[in-house]
Structure 1
């Protein structure tokens, strides 16, 4: 396991260039930079976080363009997650961390809305979302533009009821500690603070119980 010493400025420069020239030629010419300044530090970061946050998963750099009009071959960020922590990403914009439920099946959406509407669990979610926002986190997700069927438009938690997914994130940008070992503790601290939302979701929504072909 390599020691994590921070995410160097070269990582942001690499993605700044990739945004301008998302081509195989650019990737090939800068492959060494990607391995040393982007992928290597991210793997080291995940390894550092693994004892507390569980098994890591690094997302592949290539985009799936089969069903997309955008045929750009490469993702303009390196993203990864630890199973009991959250998501972490480095791009030209710097560091971003997140947690929550990014994808939900129909049965999960039903349980989410039932818990939001409940007069006990709903206000608890409302309070923790407010607390996260006061602490500088953004709370977002995939939302309906109108009220969900079966719920009144004047429901006191109608904004939360519109959510199909629910996530929390923080954009750190390029702080001085990004290129230092301290970066690992900053990510860990954010994941710990964001855990309140994930805990609520795990308790009241949980994993889907549908078969694979019924999850859309």
Structure 2
């Protein structure tokens, strides 16, 4: 089957799901989900795999066992290629549109210690500083949980304090609903984006992973 992008109806699907997050609505729209979300995501994953590695297309069901929010279905569809635990390349569609990029969504205790040590070290720290500055200049938004103050034991005048405060680090292009998302060109845009964030993904693998 020829890949023709992610239909714009995928965004409409998630807008409607936000208002109707129930098993009844989902069952009535299951075929629609398969056609405009799941199917195109699996096609896209297959096109990206030879260059970036084996992708994971996340399942739509939420684990509600330990959550106050008992909504049964996720409000987005994600595609993820791991390069180390809890880090790699990412693509998503939700009610706001599409986003893509890469990095870490969470550091465990050992990774966080390694991350902070590498940021504080001059060579690795300056390398990350350059990578982040270039991505921000190119229009990426930095994400990841961060402390409101500095980490314990870190001086107030420490170099790269803004990076040291982070407990995860990723860079995303938030793109809304571009016309090309529903064309075969989408695969090229994702490919180019993931190549652009490769320096961040590589830094995390080398210095944290």
Give the alignment's TM-score, normalised by structure 1: 0.91
Matched-pair contact (CA < 8 Å) for 1:89–1:96: yes
**Equivalent-residue separation in structure 1 for 2:107 and 2:124 (angstroms):** 19
CA deviation after TM superposition for structure 1 residue 156, in Å? 2.5
Report the equivalent of 1:188: 191
In structure 2, the partner of 1:213 is none
- Find the counterpart in structure 2 of residue 133 from structure 1: 136
SS of residue matched to 1:30: helix
Count of residues paired in the alignment: 205
**Cα deviation, residue 103, structure 1:** 2.1
Choose which of 111, 115, 118 in structure 1 pairs with 2:118: 115
**1:24-63 residue pairs with structure 2 within 5 A?**
24-63=23-62
- Unaligned runs of 5+ residues in structure 2 are none
Q: Is the 8 A contact 2:106 2:144 kept in 1?
A: no
1:23 and 1:143 map into 2 onto residues whose CA distance is 33
TM-score w.r.t. length of structure 2 = 0.94
Equivalent of 2:182 in 179, 193, 209 = 179
Which segments of structure 1 move beyond 4 Å, counting only runs of 4 or more? none
Q: CA deviation at 1:3?
A: 2.6
Long gaps (5+) in structure 1: 207-216
Q: Which residue of 2 aligns with 1:204?
A: 207
